[in-house]
Amino acid sequence: MEDAVADAFRRKGYIVFVRRNHCDVLAVKPDMSLAYLVECKDYVLSRKQQILAVRELNCNYTHALEILIRNRLFPERILKVLVAKGFAYRARGVMQYTPKAFLKHVSS
């Protein structure tokens, strides 16, 4: 799933990092206005799994900052996105998409 998401970002001209420094996908717009930090799960998340996935995404935020600083990329905003086949609840501060919906979102 990470490769499909990365390919969709690349087709739109984003600078993409895949499976680096604990981050599944980190995509930065070339104009540095926005970056996406994406955590991909290939299954429907139970409440406990979703809590752990959101916690992992928040921890990966600091790893993403290291990648951005190392590559001298400074986006204005970093959006945290959780992509999975299903969700138990709506997490605050994290965008949640199914794989199909997220690929459509990126492509539009």
- Locate the domains of the chain by residue range: 2-107
Tell me the CATH class for 2-107. alpha beta
H helices of 1-108, where?
A: 2-11, 47-70, 99-107
Say if residues 97 and 53 touch (Cβ distance below 8 Å).
no
Q: What is the pLDDT of residue 108?
A: 85
Low-confidence ranges of the chain (pLDDT < 70): none
**What is d(CA 4, CA 8) in angstroms, rounded to the nearest whole number?**
6
Its pTM surpasses 0.75: yes
Q: What is the pLDDT of residue 97?
A: 96
Say if residues 59 and 53 touch (Cβ distance below 8 Å).
no
Q: What is the pLDDT of residue 85?
A: 95
Q: Any idea what DSSP says for residue 44?
A: B
Say if residues 28 and 35 touch (Cβ distance below 8 Å).
yes
